[in-house]
Structure formats: structure tokens, C-alpha cells
Amino acid sequence: MIELRGLTKSFKTPQGQVDAVRGIDISIDTGETVALLGPNGAGKSTTLDMLLGLLRPDAGTVEVFGAPPADAVAAGKVGAMLQTGALVRDLEVRELLLQLASLYPKPLDVDETIELVGLHDIAARRTQKLSGGQTQRVRFALALVTNPDLLVLDEPTVAMDVESRHAFWTTMREFATRGKTVVFATHYLEEADDYADRAVLMANGDVVADGPTTEIKARVGTRSIRATLPGAALEALERLPGVTRAERRGESVVLTCVDSDAAIRALLAQHADARDIEISGAGLEEAFLELTR
Amino acid sequence: MNHWTYTRYELLRTFRTRRFVILSFGFPVVLYFMIAGPNKHETDIGGTGISAPLYFMVSLAAFGTMNAILSSGARIAGERQVGWNRQLRLTPLSPRHYFRTKVLTGYLMAALTLLLLSLCGSFLGVRLSGAEWAHMTLLILVGLIPFAALGILFGHLLSVDAIGPAMGGTTALLSILGGVWFPIQNGVLHDIALLLPSYWLVQASRVAIGGKSWTATGWLVVAAWAVALGAAAMWAYRRDTGRA
């Protein structure tokens, strides 16, 4: 069980104080896979750094399996892949894994980890000779080899191509099925939707939504239909299937939809005179603005 | 959980850094033959009563071990630059274990430097009894404690770019004032030298002529620097890692 209560953190910058995290509460059950979803600057990394004990909160508490994060870390219960960070040089990948694993009470077998992450081809290579993508995979292996009860991943796939991204999530999934708690930050809605049980939406340092990914997706996975349609009644448009809101902008109307396919069919059936139709997917950023308004 | 595994790979990593190893061992040896070679028949250098090959053997051992042990700072700065210290903070590695490994690595480099220079010394005719050699070595190893702390202090305080000049300047200054390149017998420089840990490293050579090893001042100076720099190193480490 992981509990973040009233967590607050601000930073002083030359531009003034930035309130990175503004008093958030999140609790995560053991075995859950939770995505921290939000645009850049939402406070995800700051939250994860506090969860890991790398940052001290200005206010609020963090409990990881009933203890402060430092204790959970010291007990070897936490593994993490931070957003930034390279590897120390002059060791082979396998040696580095062996070195780190030696610090943990119940590490995974190093060869099993190499198998799991698919590192056989580079296991004997010195760390300074790895490409960016390979380095990311080794960093993931370093987090896994510790066999943590809590695995924390801060935007783990940012530097990966599509193929390695897929392989990465498959491995993560496989690891999560071992009863592990996984918390990862991402700004891709698809990643949260595909790989997490639950998503916590963050924007401007606040939690704006928290629930099963299907629910979150319905809330932020919106599209909008814009059409020139003078004289149509907004109330009637709002009652169309798939539409959650209708607004007028001069000659045009803008329909916010959870199901734009159903909405466009219904719209054209009722208003064959609608023209200049545009359907656009709301980006996560817009969706967040919507939610935080 | 096997703590020696961690240390073993740390050592492996250090000794694999070829440029570092060659420079740390090669530099003092080359300097030794350059300085002591031409004066190898000088039996009383600067009125100290110590032969030139012995004096410079110890002073270059002091210089070499000082560099070897300070170099752990450069490695720490390098690890910090790539964010490795953050990675380590997420492991059960305790600060004590972390420091022990760093100090041990530095000391191993220092011990090898000492051994190498002792061999070079014997090549130029330095003859010491086993007891004298052991006594002298022990003094040097104790005298290195402040430098081990200084290396860690630098490593956690300075960036990779700053640490080169900072360490170069520090070792240059400390070795001149410590009497590495020529004996300092009296005057203001001598008064200053008495207060420096590097001076006492070089003074370990007096053991070989039956002189007193270190005076009470010597022990006190080394202890004071060790405590002060040790506290500073701990402070820098905590500040750097945000530990309570």
C-alpha cells in the first residue's frame, strides 16, 4: 500500500516561485499498476521524486508499504527508472547488473533479467559503448534486477522507438503480473490506457481525475466537431448521441463528443445543411485544460 | 546481499580506466627518476641527513598517493554528472558502505603507488629494513586520511569541469609547501608547512634515518585535518544527496 497525503512541493526559480505539486492525495494498493498521466510540467516527476524519497516534500507525507520512502528503499523494496541518468562507464552490462543486484536482499537472477529485457546481444558490452536506446533498456534491467515490490518508472519510453516501446511494455506487464506494484508517469494517454489499471490525471500540480483508465479515457478522450450551422438549437444538438456539450461560435457550432462517430451520423441525419465540417481529436493538453477549467 | 561484490566491481571499474591507471602510476615513477636519478649519490639532501633517493622516494610516494586518493573525487564527480548518485540513492547501499568503497579504492591505488616507488627506490640504492619500511608505510597510510576526505569533499562539491583544475592546483600547492620537490627546513614556508598534512607525509622519510617518526604536532595536524575534512565531506555528501 502506498499513501501520498497532502503532498506539496514548490521550487524557487529566477522567475519566482513555482508550485510544482499542490497538496495531492493518492493511495495505491499493492499489486496495482497506476499511470500518472499529465502534460509536461504537470508535477508528475516531482511527485515520483517525493514518492522515492529523492525530494523532501514541503508539506504532506509519503508512506511506502507502511514506512517512509527512505526505509522502503533501504529495505530494497523499491526499484526505479528515472527520467534522466546515464550509466557509469567501464563495466560490462552484465557486470553492472551483478554489482547492483548484490545490494539487494532478493534480487532476480541476472541471467533471467537479461533474458526478460532481451539484452543477450549486449550483455558483454561496456556501458559506454551502448546506444541511447540500449542504455534505456539497461536502465530498465537495472530497475528489474532488484526485484522490487514497487517499481517506479518516470516516462520510461521517451527515448525509445515504437518497437522497443512495445517490447518494453510487454516486459513491464509480465513483471507486474508477479504481484508487483507499478507506478509510471507518462504523457501518452494510450500508454496509460493500454498498460495501467488506473490512471491519475495531473495538471498544474493537482490531481484532476483519478480512476480506472476506461473512465479517464472517456473523460479526456474527446473529439470535437465543428460545423457551420446557423440557426440550430444548442439544446437539441446537446441531446445528440455521443455529444456532451454544444457551443455556438458565430455562424458555427462546436460539439464536444465522447463518441464523434455516433455524433456525426446523428448530426448529418438531422441537419443535412451542416457544412465546413471539421472533426478534431482533442489533445491531452486540451483535455486537461477542459478538466481543470 | 553481498557487500564485497559491490566493492569488487567498483575496483574492477577503477582499474579498467586505462588512462587513469597509467597516469596515476606512471607519473610519480617518471618524476622520481628525473629528480632523484641525477642526485642518487647525494647522501644529505638540504641538511636533512636523508639521502636524495630516499627523500624523493618518500616525497614522490606522498605526491603519488595524494593524487591517487584524491582521484576518487574525480570519479565521484563523474558519477554525479551522469546521475549515477541518484540511482545509488534508490538502492539499499548505505552511506557508510558507499564511503568505505570509495576510500578502499583510493587506498588500494595508493598502496600500489607506494609499492611501485619502493621498488624504484631500491633501484636507486635505497635500503630499508622491513621494520623501517613498514613503519614508514604505515605513517603514509595514516597521513592519507585527510586526503581521502578531501577527495570525497571535492567530488560532491564540484562539477566534472571544475574538479580537474581544483585538484591540480591543490596538489601542486600542497606538494610544494609539503616539501615534495625540495626540503623545507626553515623560514615562513616551514612554519606554514608544519600545518599541512602533505608535509607530514613527506616527513615519514625520517623514519629511515632513525629519526622520530612524527612529532606530536604532526599527529595533531593530521588528526585535525582528518576531522575537519571528514566533517566537510560528510556535509557535502548530505547536501548533494539531500539526506537528512
Question: Chain B residue closest to A89 (CA)?
Answer: B13
**pLDDT mean over A185-204:** 87
φ/ψ bin of A201: left (φ > 0), alpha (ψ from -120 to 50), beta (otherwise): beta
- 8 Å CB contact of B84 and A86: yes
User: Residue A25's pLDDT is what?
Assistant: 94
Inter-chain CB proximity A99 and B9 less than 8 Å: yes
pLDDT of residue B244: 37
Q: Do B5 and A102 touch (CB under 8 A)?
A: yes
Note the pLDDT of residue A15.
86
- Going A190 to A191 to A192 to A197, the CA torsion angle's sign is positive
Strands of A252-257's sheet in order across = A243-249, A252-257, A223-228, A275-281
**Measured between CA atoms, how close is B151 to chain A, in angstroms?**
19
CB contact under 8 A, B9 and A55: no
Query: Which residues in chain A are contacts of B12 at CB distance < 8 A?
Result: 91, 95
Of B6, B14, B17, the CB nearest to A103: B6
- Asked if residues A65 and A1 have their Cβ atoms less than 8 Å apart, the reply is yes
Q: Which of B1, B13, B84 lies nearest to residue A90, judging by beta carbons?
A: B13
**CA atoms of A96 and A91, how far apart (whole Å):** 6
Residues in chain B with pLDDT < 50? 243-244
* Residues of chain B with C-beta less than 8 angstroms from the C-beta of A78: 90
Q: What is the pTM of this model?
A: 0.79
The model's pLDDT over A106-164, given as tens digits with 9 standing for 90+, comes to 999 999 999 988 889 999 999 889 888 888 889 999 999 999 999 999 988 887 888 88
Phi, psi of A289, rounded to the nearest 5 degrees: -60, -40
* Assigned C-alpha cell, A244: 456532451
pLDDT of A293 > 60? The answer is no
B132: burial class by Cβ within 10 Å (0-12, 13-18, 19+)? middle
Contacts of B93 in chain A (CB under 8 A): 103
The CA distance from A53 to A149, in Å, is 16
Question: With contacts defined as CB-CB under 8 Å, which chain B residues touch A104?
Answer: 1, 91-92
pLDDT digits (tens, 9 = 90+) for A42-78: 899 999 999 999 889 999 999 999 999 999 999 999 9
**How close, in Å, is residue A266 to chain B by CA atoms?**
55
* ipTM over the 0.85 cut-off: no
Q: Cβ contact (<8 Å) for B92 and A73? A: yes
Split at pLDDT 50, 70, 90, the class of A289 is: low
pLDDT tens-digit profile of A235-268?
A: 889 888 888 888 888 888 988 887 888 899 999 9
Residues A52, B90: C-beta atoms closer than 8 Å: yes
Q: Give the whole-angstrom CA distance, residue A143 versus residue B106.
A: 29
pLDDT-derived band at A34 (thresholds 50, 70, 90) equals: very high
pLDDT of B15 reads 85
A179: pLDDT strictly greater than 70? yes
Interface test with chain A among B6, B88, B91, by most A beta carbons within 10 Å: B91
What proportion of chain A, given as a percentage, has pLDDT over 70?
94
Q: Least CB-CB distance to B83: which of A76, A86, A89?
A: A86
Asked if A73 lies within 8 A of B12 by C-beta distance, the reply is no
